[in-house]
Chain A
Protein backbone atom coordinates (compact mmCIF):
# COMPACT_ATOMS: atom_id res chain seq x y z
CA UNK A 1 0.00 0.00 0.00
CA UNK A 2 1.31 3.43 -0.92
CA UNK A 3 1.80 5.95 1.88
CA UNK A 4 -0.17 8.53 -0.13
CA UNK A 5 -3.11 7.67 -2.34
CA UNK A 6 -4.49 10.11 -4.91
CA UNK A 7 -7.15 9.43 -7.54
CA UNK A 8 -5.42 9.95 -10.90
CA UNK A 9 -8.60 11.04 -12.66
CA UNK A 10 -8.89 12.37 -15.26
CA UNK A 11 -11.46 14.80 -13.90
CA UNK A 12 -13.43 17.08 -16.24
CA UNK A 13 -15.75 19.80 -14.96
CA UNK A 14 -17.49 22.78 -16.57
CA UNK A 15 -16.14 26.27 -16.09
CA UNK A 16 -17.42 27.90 -12.91
CA UNK A 17 -17.91 24.63 -11.02
CA UNK A 18 -16.40 23.84 -7.63
CA UNK A 19 -13.63 21.26 -7.89
CA UNK A 20 -12.68 18.89 -5.08
CA UNK A 21 -9.34 17.07 -5.17
CA UNK A 22 -8.38 14.61 -2.46
CA UNK A 23 -5.56 12.55 -1.01
CA UNK A 24 -5.46 9.99 1.76
CA UNK A 25 -2.38 8.97 3.67
CA UNK A 26 -1.40 6.22 6.06
CA UNK A 27 1.67 7.62 7.85
CA UNK A 28 0.59 9.37 11.07
CA UNK A 29 4.04 11.05 11.20
CA UNK A 30 3.06 13.36 8.33
CA UNK A 31 2.55 16.80 9.79
CA UNK A 32 2.71 19.29 6.94
CA UNK A 33 0.85 19.17 3.68
CA UNK A 34 1.16 20.84 0.31
CA UNK A 35 -0.58 21.05 -3.00
CA UNK A 36 1.32 21.58 -6.24
CA UNK A 37 -0.03 22.48 -9.66
CA UNK A 38 1.76 21.16 -12.72
CA UNK A 39 0.99 22.38 -16.21
CA UNK A 40 1.82 20.13 -19.14
CA UNK A 41 5.57 19.89 -19.78
CA UNK A 42 6.38 22.18 -16.82
CA UNK A 43 7.71 21.68 -13.33
CA UNK A 44 5.31 21.56 -10.35
CA UNK A 45 4.65 24.86 -8.61
CA UNK A 46 3.63 25.24 -4.97
CA UNK A 47 0.00 26.21 -4.60
CA UNK A 48 -0.89 25.72 -0.95
CA UNK A 49 0.97 24.83 2.25
CA UNK A 50 -0.59 23.95 5.60
CA UNK A 51 0.40 22.09 8.74
CA UNK A 52 -2.70 22.21 10.92
CA UNK A 53 -6.06 20.52 10.75
CA UNK A 54 -8.81 22.69 9.35
CA UNK A 55 -9.11 25.01 6.37
CA UNK A 56 -6.69 27.44 4.78
CA UNK A 57 -7.95 29.78 2.09
CA UNK A 58 -6.05 31.64 -0.63
CA UNK A 59 -8.21 33.34 -3.22
CA UNK A 60 -10.24 30.71 -5.06
CA UNK A 61 -8.29 27.87 -3.42
CA UNK A 62 -9.01 26.21 -0.06
CA UNK A 63 -6.84 23.50 1.46
CA UNK A 64 -8.47 21.28 4.05
CA UNK A 65 -6.71 18.84 6.37
CA UNK A 66 -8.32 16.21 8.60
CA UNK A 67 -5.50 14.54 10.51
CA UNK A 68 -7.85 12.25 12.43
CA UNK A 69 -9.05 10.73 9.14
CA UNK A 70 -5.70 11.13 7.37
CA UNK A 71 -7.43 12.95 4.55
CA UNK A 72 -6.61 16.19 2.76
CA UNK A 73 -8.52 18.11 0.13
CA UNK A 74 -8.06 21.01 -2.24
CA UNK A 75 -11.14 22.95 -3.32
CA UNK A 76 -11.16 25.28 -6.31
CA UNK A 77 -14.06 27.73 -6.52
CA UNK A 78 -15.25 29.38 -9.72
CA UNK A 79 -12.98 27.11 -11.76
CA UNK A 80 -11.36 28.58 -14.86
CA UNK A 81 -9.90 26.93 -18.00
CA UNK A 82 -6.50 28.16 -16.77
CA UNK A 83 -6.91 25.78 -13.78
CA UNK A 84 -6.57 22.83 -16.17
CA UNK A 85 -3.46 21.03 -14.92
CA UNK A 86 -2.30 18.08 -12.86
CA UNK A 87 -2.57 18.61 -9.10
CA UNK A 88 -0.16 16.83 -6.80
CA UNK A 89 -0.50 16.48 -3.05
CA UNK A 90 2.66 16.18 -0.98
CA UNK A 91 3.33 15.69 2.72
CA UNK A 92 6.05 14.97 5.23
CA UNK A 93 7.08 14.87 8.87
CA UNK A 94 8.52 18.01 10.44
CA UNK A 95 12.28 18.20 10.28
CA UNK A 96 12.60 15.47 7.66
CA UNK A 97 14.24 16.13 4.30
CA UNK A 98 11.99 13.70 2.45
CA UNK A 99 8.60 14.64 1.05
CA UNK A 100 6.10 12.04 -0.19
CA UNK A 101 4.03 12.91 -3.27
CA UNK A 102 0.74 11.59 -4.53
CA UNK A 103 0.64 10.45 -8.15
CA UNK A 104 -1.40 13.49 -9.21
CA UNK A 105 -4.94 14.16 -10.47
CA UNK A 106 -5.34 15.44 -14.01
CA UNK A 107 -8.00 18.17 -14.12
CA UNK A 108 -9.64 19.71 -17.19
CA UNK A 109 -11.98 22.71 -16.96
CA UNK A 110 -14.32 22.80 -19.93
CA UNK A 111 -15.21 26.33 -21.19
Chain B
Protein backbone atom coordinates (compact mmCIF):
# COMPACT_ATOMS: atom_id res chain seq x y z
CA UNK B 1 0.00 0.00 0.00
CA UNK B 2 1.28 3.46 -0.88
CA UNK B 3 -0.38 5.30 2.04
CA UNK B 4 -0.54 8.94 0.95
CA UNK B 5 0.60 9.90 -2.54
CA UNK B 6 1.28 13.51 -3.53
CA UNK B 7 1.91 14.82 -7.01
CA UNK B 8 3.92 16.56 -8.26
CA UNK B 9 7.01 16.31 -6.05
CA UNK B 10 8.55 19.53 -7.35
CA UNK B 11 7.13 22.54 -9.17
CA UNK B 12 8.32 25.99 -10.21
CA UNK B 13 5.65 28.55 -11.04
CA UNK B 14 5.74 32.11 -12.22
CA UNK B 15 3.83 34.72 -10.24
CA UNK B 16 0.19 34.68 -11.31
CA UNK B 17 0.17 31.14 -12.66
CA UNK B 18 -2.24 28.56 -11.29
CA UNK B 19 -1.76 24.94 -10.37
CA UNK B 20 -3.37 22.06 -8.50
CA UNK B 21 -1.59 19.84 -6.02
CA UNK B 22 -2.99 16.34 -5.91
CA UNK B 23 -3.28 14.02 -2.93
CA UNK B 24 -4.62 10.48 -2.81
CA UNK B 25 -4.81 8.03 0.10
CA UNK B 26 -5.50 4.32 0.14
CA UNK B 27 -6.00 4.03 3.92
CA UNK B 28 -9.79 4.48 3.82
CA UNK B 29 -9.50 7.41 6.24
CA UNK B 30 -12.22 10.00 6.62
CA UNK B 31 -10.10 13.05 7.43
CA UNK B 32 -7.63 14.70 5.04
CA UNK B 33 -5.49 17.80 5.50
CA UNK B 34 -3.25 20.20 3.63
CA UNK B 35 -0.32 21.78 5.47
CA UNK B 36 2.48 24.06 4.45
CA UNK B 37 5.89 23.93 6.11
CA UNK B 38 8.19 26.94 6.22
CA UNK B 39 11.50 27.42 8.09
CA UNK B 40 10.88 28.71 11.59
CA UNK B 41 7.11 28.51 11.17
CA UNK B 42 6.54 24.80 11.50
CA UNK B 43 3.54 23.09 9.94
CA UNK B 44 0.53 25.31 9.37
CA UNK B 45 -2.89 24.02 8.42
CA UNK B 46 -4.30 25.41 5.18
CA UNK B 47 -7.54 23.46 4.76
CA UNK B 48 -8.98 20.21 5.97
CA UNK B 49 -11.79 17.83 5.15
CA UNK B 50 -13.33 15.88 8.01
CA UNK B 51 -15.29 13.68 5.64
CA UNK B 52 -16.20 13.31 1.99
CA UNK B 53 -18.20 16.33 0.89
CA UNK B 54 -16.99 18.71 3.60
CA UNK B 55 -14.10 21.17 3.72
CA UNK B 56 -13.07 23.79 6.27
CA UNK B 57 -10.50 26.53 6.55
CA UNK B 58 -7.41 26.12 8.66
CA UNK B 59 -4.92 28.66 9.93
CA UNK B 60 -3.68 30.05 6.58
CA UNK B 61 -6.37 29.54 3.87
CA UNK B 62 -5.96 32.79 1.92
CA UNK B 63 -4.89 32.23 -1.69
CA UNK B 64 -5.91 28.57 -1.72
CA UNK B 65 -8.94 26.48 -2.60
CA UNK B 66 -9.58 22.78 -2.04
CA UNK B 67 -11.75 20.02 -3.40
CA UNK B 68 -12.57 16.72 -1.72
CA UNK B 69 -13.23 14.81 -4.90
CA UNK B 70 -14.11 11.54 -3.15
CA UNK B 71 -13.00 9.71 -0.03
CA UNK B 72 -9.55 9.02 -1.50
CA UNK B 73 -8.64 12.36 -3.09
CA UNK B 74 -8.17 15.87 -1.74
CA UNK B 75 -6.70 18.54 -4.02
CA UNK B 76 -5.25 21.97 -3.26
CA UNK B 77 -5.45 24.73 -5.86
CA UNK B 78 -3.47 27.94 -6.14
CA UNK B 79 -5.44 30.23 -8.44
CA UNK B 80 -2.83 32.99 -8.78
CA UNK B 81 0.49 31.99 -7.28
CA UNK B 82 2.51 34.51 -5.26
CA UNK B 83 6.14 34.31 -4.06
CA UNK B 84 4.80 34.09 -0.47
CA UNK B 85 3.37 30.70 -1.40
CA UNK B 86 6.85 29.27 -1.94
CA UNK B 87 6.86 26.40 0.53
CA UNK B 88 6.77 22.66 1.04
CA UNK B 89 3.20 21.36 0.98
CA UNK B 90 2.17 18.22 2.81
CA UNK B 91 -1.03 16.26 2.55
CA UNK B 92 -1.99 14.16 5.55
CA UNK B 93 -4.76 11.79 6.50
CA UNK B 94 -6.04 10.17 9.66
CA UNK B 95 -8.92 8.00 10.71
CA UNK B 96 -10.53 10.85 12.65
CA UNK B 97 -9.99 13.28 15.54
CA UNK B 98 -7.62 12.02 18.24
CA UNK B 99 -5.65 9.81 15.84
CA UNK B 100 -2.16 10.34 14.47
CA UNK B 101 -1.50 11.61 10.98
CA UNK B 102 0.02 9.81 8.03
CA UNK B 103 1.80 12.31 5.82
CA UNK B 104 2.68 12.24 2.16
CA UNK B 105 6.22 12.92 0.99
CA UNK B 106 5.49 16.55 0.11
CA UNK B 107 5.46 18.93 -2.85
CA UNK B 108 8.24 21.50 -3.05
CA UNK B 109 6.80 24.60 -4.70
CA UNK B 110 8.79 27.64 -5.76
CA UNK B 111 7.03 30.74 -7.06
CA UNK B 112 9.29 33.17 -8.89
Q: Using CB atoms and an 8 Å cutoff, list the residues of chain A in contact with chain B.
A: 6, 8, 32, 34, 36, 41-46, 49, 51, 88, 90, 92, 94-99, 101-104
Contact (Cβ within 8 A) B40 A8: yes
Among A34, A42, A103, contact of B40 (Cβ-Cβ < 8 Å)? A103
Contact (Cβ within 8 A) B98 A95: yes
What's the A-B contact tally at a CB cutoff of 8 Å?
52
Q: Chain A at the B interface: mostly helix, strand, loop or mixed?
A: loop
Contact (Cβ within 8 A) A97 B101: no
- Interface membership of chain B positions 39-70, coded 1 if the CB is closer than 8 angstroms to chain A and 0 otherwise: 01111010010100000101000000000000
The count of chain B contact residues (Cβ–Cβ below 8 Å) is 22
Q: Using CB atoms and an 8 Å cutoff, list the residues of chain B in contact with chain A.
A: 4, 31, 40-43, 45, 48, 50, 56, 58, 90, 92, 97-98, 100-106
